[in-house]
């Protein structure tokens, strides 16, 4: 029989808050983490704003030894280690024995691109003939699986330890990969999540594509506007989110705190065929992904109380709403509540799915909807499709039993996860 899977721990390093309790407070208060960066102005970026977690040296010392910090120059690894370690501790789990790993626990922690600043540093040193000055950690800081390797060593996990990568879908895909491993009985618990680097060398390509907003440099907190008529492109962000997934029987045995249950989900691709391309989703594939997630979770579209959408503040927002309507068979005032975290954090790219999964689970656990900040002028196409009250602009207290979380990424890849309130 398939195992039931629950969430017993979470951690987050987001642009608007670091740490789970601070993050929940930021969600409820609609706190923006988007800031102006003079460095981007100096480099002639059109978009000179972004989302970046605020990490102090004091905080770093709680997660890394002085030796580990020496030469550490990968923001993605920093964010991932903080969120992953916090999630592990939040679940009440101990760090593995020094002599033997925890064979029942594994890690699937994704990223898009890792160690960009370390790569830049390495290129200059190599070109100057100073290869020996690279240091012993340059490889692990720049290999894609560096984040899962760091966490695997810190936590002592002996089950599958790996990294996935599927652009903006990465974090939600990692969660569903970990879910499948536990459900099939191959692990008791999995730390899942995703992270992403910050800065000009990650964000520059998007600026060159002219899909970032350029007219909010003096008003950064107003720049990210999902579902709005005045949306002008997505604001780039960074950070990490992490969740501990655990077999229900295991969680019960150790009397663990349970945030929610993962009912199921779906991952697919549009193959960059039809309407799909490298940068745009195939709408049929999105609909199939939503319907597949519902079917795999043994629920109906009418059971969904809320949606945490991908919704990036581009012209694809209206299309995403249409895909949900076709998939659920619900519209107008019958449509579920829907929100987007990106108004507060920007689009955290490969980290977005995991950070948004954490935000989604907090809403299910504590029966609230965080506001769609900056959505003061709902896009007219969206207004024609769903009732205005289904897009909360203020924190809304309401019972949420089932929530659907969606992520759609470059390469025409999709993931939808279904979370349910856990009642003992």
- 112 contact partners, CB below 8 Å, separation of at least 6: 165, 167, 170, 196, 349, 350
Main-chain dihedrals φ then ψ at residue 421, nearest 5 degrees = -60, 135
Tally of CA atoms within 13 A in the half-sphere of 146 that contains its CB: 27
Core vs surface per residue 9-21: b (16+ CB within 10 A) or e: bbbbbbbbbbbbe
What are the start-end ranges of the H helices in 156-282? Answer: 170-183, 200-208, 248-253
The pLDDT assigned to 140 comes to 84
Q: Which residue has the tokens 């948004």?
A: 356
What sign does the dihedral 170-174-180-186 (CA atoms) show? positive
Domain segments of the chain as ranges = 5-260, 265-420
User: Per-residue pLDDT averaged across 284-303, rounded?
Assistant: 98
Q: Are 281 and 270 in contact (CB under 8 A)?
A: yes
Domain 5-260 shares a fold with domain 265-420:
yes
Q: Are 237 and 13 in contact (CB under 8 A)?
A: no
The pLDDT assigned to 1 comes to 63
The pLDDT assigned to 77 comes to 95
Q: Is the pLDDT confidence value at 416 over 90?
A: yes
Core vs surface per residue 84-121: b (16+ CB within 10 A) or e: bbbbbebbebeebeeeebbebbbbbbbbbbbbbbbbeb
- Indicate the pLDDT class of residue 70, thresholds 50, 70 and 90: confident
Q: Is the pLDDT confidence value at 136 over 80?
A: no
The span from the CA of 102 to the CA of 321, in Å, is 43
- Indicate the pLDDT class of residue 96, thresholds 50, 70 and 90: low
The span from the CA of 86 to the CA of 244, in Å, is 10
- Indicate the pLDDT class of residue 95, thresholds 50, 70 and 90: confident
Among residues 131, 132, 150, which one has the least CA distance to residue 142? 150
Query: How remote is the C-alpha of 209 from its chain's centroid?
Result: 23
Q: Is the pLDDT confidence value at 119 over 90?
A: no
Q: What is the CA angle 355-361-366, rounded to 5? A: 130
Ramachandran region of residue 353, left (φ > 0), alpha (ψ -120 to 50) or beta? alpha
Terminal CA-to-CA distance of the chain, rounded, Å?
20
pLDDT digits (tens, 9 = 90+) for 330-368: 999 999 999 999 999 999 999 999 999 999 999 999 999
Provide the 3-class DSSP secondary structure of residue 418.
Answer: strand
The pLDDT assigned to 137 comes to 78
What sign does the dihedral 183-5-113-227 (CA atoms) show? positive
pLDDT digits (tens, 9 = 90+) for 1-46: 689 999 999 999 999 999 999 999 999 999 999 999 999 999 999 9
> What homologous superfamily is domain 5-260 in, according to CATH?
Thiolase/Chalcone synthase (3.40.47.10)
Burial of 361 (0-12, 13-18, 19+ CB in 10 A): buried
Q: Are 339 and 308 in contact (CB under 8 A)?
A: yes
* Mean pLDDT score across all residues of the chain: 95
Query: Whole-model pTM?
Result: 0.97
User: Per-residue pLDDT averaged across 221-231, rounded?
Assistant: 98
Q: What is the CATH number of domain 265-420?
A: 3.40.47.10
Q: Are 180 and 230 in contact (CB under 8 A)?
A: no
The span from the CA of 285 to the CA of 275, in Å, is 10
């Amino acid at each position: 029989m398939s195992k039931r899977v629950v969430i017993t721990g979470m951690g987050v390093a987001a642009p608007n808050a670091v740490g789970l309790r601070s993050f929940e407070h930021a969600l409820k208060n609609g706190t923006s983490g988007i800031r102006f960066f003079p460095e981007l102005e100096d480099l002639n970026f059109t978009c000179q704003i972004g989302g970046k977690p605020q990490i102090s040296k004091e905080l770093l010392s709680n997660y890394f030894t002085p030796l580990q910090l020496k030469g550490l120059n990968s923001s993605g690894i920093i964010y991932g280690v903080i969120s992953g370690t916090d999630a592990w501790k939040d679940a009440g789990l101990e760090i593995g024995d020094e002599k033997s790993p925890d064979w029942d626990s594994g890690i699937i922690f994704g990223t898009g691109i890792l160690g960009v600043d370390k790569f830049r540093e390495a290129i200059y040193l190599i070109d100057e003939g100073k290869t020996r000055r690279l240091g012993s950690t340059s490889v692990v800081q720049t290999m894609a699986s560096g984040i899962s390797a760091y966490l695997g060593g810190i936590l002592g996990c002996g089950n599958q330890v790996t990294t996935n990568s599927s652009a903006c879908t990465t974090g939600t895909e990692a969660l569903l990969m970990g879910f499948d491993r536990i459900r099939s009985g191959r692990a008791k618990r999995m730390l899942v999540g995703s992270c992403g680097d910050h800065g000009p060398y990650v964000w520059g390509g998007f600026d060159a594509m002219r899909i970032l907003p350029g007219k909010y440099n003096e008003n950064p907190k107003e720049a990210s506007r999902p579902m709005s008529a005045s949306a002008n492109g997505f604001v780039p962000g960074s950070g990490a989110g992490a969740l501990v997934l655990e077999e229900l029987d295991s969680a019960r045995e150790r009397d663990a705190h349970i945030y929610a249950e993962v009912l199921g989900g779906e991952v697919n691709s549009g193959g960059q065929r039809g309407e799909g391309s490298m940068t745009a989703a195939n709408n049929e594939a999105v609909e199939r992904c939503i319907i597949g997630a519902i079917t795999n979770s043994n629920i109906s579209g009418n059971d969904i109380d809320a949606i945490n959408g991908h919704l990036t503040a581009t012209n694809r927002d209206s299309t995403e709403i249409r895909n949900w309507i076709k998939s659920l068979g619900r519209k107008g005032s019958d449509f579920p509540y829907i929100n987007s975290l990106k108004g507060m954090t920007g689009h955290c790219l490969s980290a977005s799915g995991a950070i948004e999964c954490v935000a989604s689970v907090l809403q299910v656990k504590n029966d609230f909807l965080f506001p769609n900040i900056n959505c003061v002028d709902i896009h007219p196409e969206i207004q024609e499709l769903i009732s205005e009250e289904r897009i909360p602009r203020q924190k809304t207290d309401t019972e949420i039993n089932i929530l659907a979380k969606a992520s759609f990424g470059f390469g025409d890849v999709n993931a939808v996860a279904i979370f349910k309130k856990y009642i003992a």
